[in-house]
Structure 1
Amino acid sequence: MSDTHNDVSDWWATSIIDMAPGRIRFRGHPVEQLVGTVSFAQMIWLLTRGDLPTEAEAALLECALVAAVDHGPQAPSIAAARMAVTCGLGLNGAIASAVNMLDDIHGGAGEQAVELYGWIDGAATSGAALEDAASAMIDKWRAGRGAFIPGFGHRFHKPEDPRAPRLLQLVDEAAAAGTVSGRFAAIGRAVQQILNERKGGPVPMNIDGATAVIYAELGFAGPLARGLFCLSRSVGIIAHAWEQMNQGGRNKGPTPPAYRWTYTGPDPIGNSR
């Protein structure tokens, strides 16, 4: 009986939560001691990292979370949430539909930027000058992953994404206070400079590149950077889904019904349009 009990209880082993009747502990902290004393950002850190951050670390994390909450209905994830609501889904279904679209191309660049910054940091730590390390790792990324450098370039915000300078300023302030090292801010700026020089014009650091600086400075792994982006963007997703619920509408597709798509298949009667 004991072996059977252990087989069942050990099926899901976790250090995150200890729960029994009348007891809830997160990473060893009783929930009643956390409620009212830690922020949501601190709670995210505690559950994902295993310890509580300082208030300064949590404040910097919160800055990244706040900056990425929304980017309008033209963002595929936000559009998906609004369309889902008009098809009858509730908020939970709208959130699921939207978050499932946050993958490598839309939503994954932050994770990739943390990875790239890590390559550059490793090369620089090995003795290369920062600019040389950044240039070499940009070339390595393009050779293996494609032409787009994650975290840089924006189809709307040119020559500058307004979120990036503010986030970098906050990293600089945190570095001056000793909260973070500041080396990943320097890496991000080096990538920015190299891309600008190679193009002969601005290639703006975008929200993914800027938040990746913060996540790397705070020691978050790349995959967690993507998860944190999903948490952040879920705020905008909920807001848009709720707004659409109150606006109404049924079966709204990506374009108004009067606008048709471009048909490129066979046209036996010459009258497809």
Structure 2
Amino acid sequence: MQQDKPITELCTHNLTDLYYRDANLVEELLGKKTFTEVMFQQITGRAPSLSDLRIVDAVMITLMEHGFTPSAIAARLVYMSAPENLQGAVASGLLAVGSSFVGTMENCAKLLHEIMNDPEGPETAARRIAADYRARRASMPGFGHHLHKPDDPRALKLLEIADDLPEIKGEHVAALRILARGVDAAAGRHITINATGAIAALLGEIGIPWQVMRGFAVISRAAGLVAHIAEEQIHPSGRYIWDLIDHDIPYVGKGEGHNKLSTDGEN
């Protein structure tokens, strides 16, 4: 069976002009549109509203920096090993944007979609989902934080931003709050909505499919990782991290004399 020939709507060029979708890069975008505006239109295929921009900017700022998390540590260590390859160091950090850190809004958004479309109603769906996760002792995506208790201040602010936008229907935010009640009931105590839970709801409100949401985390986190590399160039920590691990994680095997290879050079 013959497949249709692939097409693209994203970009084209000729001898004198370049186009992002239908917009002339030089005449219509450069100096006239912000990065967020052009990024949103490239990803979604539609011009952003003021509410779209407010939410995307808030999301991108929230996700950009998380300190010495696994992604930042990976980027710094790879940069220490290959300082000529900044993009490789950033790429290594981006590989850690997944279902445990930074990228958890994707799985939370899937749950919100399930709650909003359950034939038995959102309250019943939320209780069922929360009870299932509790029974399996699985982490509920979008909930809980080891530092922020009883609430994640980032989530509170993000939801406040959504509540203040008149163009937002609030269906995804409402589903998140219904799920939060189910999670609290299943746990028998209050469990915070974390930042990625709020982000799942906000991106859902502006029509971002859950399959694409993690991409916003990747874009934002790339900027944060470049900042970590810039700091690594001035205040290097990669070698310190390596030495710390080498010192604090003991060898417990049965090697002759328990000798450790030197980390002064290549092993």
RMSD: 2.5
% identical equivalent positions: 27
Runs (5+) with no aligned partner, structure 2: 261-267
Aligned to 1:5: none
Aligned to 2:16: 22
Query: What pairs with 1:48-87 in structure 2 (closer than 5 Å)?
Result: 48-73=43-68, 75-87=69-81
Please state how far the C-alpha of 1:146 moved relative to its aligned partner.
Answer: 6.6
One-letter identity of the residue aligned with 1:246: I
Do residues 188 (structure 1) and 176 (structure 2) align? yes
- Compared with structure 1, are the counterparts of its residues 201 and 259 closer, same or farther at alpha carbon in structure 2 (3 Å cutoff)? farther
Aligned to 1:247: 235
- CA shift digits 1:6-59 (9 cap, x unpaired): xxxx97631101112211111111112022332222212111111111122112
- CA shift digits 1:53-109 (9 cap, x unpaired): 112211211111111111111x10011111122223332122111001212222331
The size of the alignment, in residue pairs, is 255
Aligned to 1:204: 192
Runs (5+) with no aligned partner, structure 1: 1-9
Matched residues in 2 for 1:137 and 1:225: separation? 21
One-letter identity of the residue aligned with 2:197: G
Matched residues in 1 for 2:103 and 2:95: separation? 11
Aligned to 1:3: none
**TM-score normalized with structure 1 length:** 0.84
**TM-score normalized with structure 2 length:** 0.86
- Compared with structure 1, are the counterparts of its residues 140 and 200 closer, same or farther at alpha carbon in structure 2 (3 Å cutoff)? closer
Please state how far the C-alpha of 1:255 moved relative to its aligned partner.
Answer: 5.3
- CA shift digits 1:155-194 (9 cap, x unpaired): 12122211000000001011xx1x2210111111122222
Matched residues in 2 for 1:270 and 1:80: separation? 28
- Compared with structure 1, are the counterparts of its residues 142 and 46 closer, same or farther at alpha carbon in structure 2 (3 Å cutoff)? farther
Aligned to 2:127: 135
Paired residue secondary structure (1:256) = helix
Query: What pairs with 1:14-163 in structure 2 (closer than 5 Å)?
Result: 14-31=8-25, 32-73=27-68, 75-89=69-83, 90-123=85-118, 126=119, 128=121, 130-139=122-131, 147-163=138-154
- Compared with structure 1, are the counterparts of its residues 110 and 23 closer, same or farther at alpha carbon in structure 2 (3 Å cutoff)? same
Matched residues in 2 for 1:106 and 1:86: separation? 23
Query: Runs of 4 or more off by more than 4 Å in structure 1?
Result: 139-143, 249-252, 267-272
